[in-house]
Amino acid sequence: MIAVIQRVLESYVEVDGKVVGRIGKGLNVLLGVVRGDTENDIEKLVNKIVNLRIFEDENGKMNLSVLDVKGEVLVVSQFTLAANVKKGRRPSFENAEKPERAKELYEGFVNRISQFVPAKTGVFAADMKVFILNDGPVTFIIDSKEL
């Protein structure tokens, strides 16, 4: 699994002009499910994300996690994170998990992370408009295979 984690002041997702998920202070998570990912990838990624110390403490140091600041998480499915752009000019998506399995793992990720922090979502496989007020900006890319 690949996740782009952004520390946000606010983030929300629209589908067909309607807001389907909105958070205040917390993390916007763009989540890509890669072929071969398992529930173990969910556990590793969730554990890293909820404990990652990327929020500032009273001294201005990145020393607090989303748990510490009682933040929220907005999880948006993003299959394009599994793209291969090495050859040619058109991305190849052969590394992306099949939609049925990807949806199952995406929902598993959302369920697991919501056990730690309030979580909102977009709509899997929908055409979404994602609004992100990045705080910092602070952005990280995390690959579960590297944890």
Digit-coded pLDDT (tens) for 71-94: 999 999 999 999 999 999 999 999
Active site residues: 78-80
Mean pLDDT of 19-31: 98
Q: How confident is the model at residue 68 (pLDDT cuts 50, 70, 90)?
A: very high
* CATH number of the structural domain 2-146: 3.50.80.10
Residue 115 carries which side chain, given as an amino acid letter?
Answer: Q
Domain range annotation of the chain = 2-146
In whole angstroms, give the CA distance from residue 123 to residue 21: 9
Digit-coded pLDDT (tens) for 1-21: 999 999 999 999 999 999 999
In whole angstroms, give the CA distance from residue 131 to residue 111: 22
Task: Provide the pLDDT for residue 108.
Answer: 98
Task: Provide the pLDDT for residue 132.
Answer: 98
pTM confidence score: 0.96
In whole angstroms, give the CA distance from residue 76 to residue 83: 16
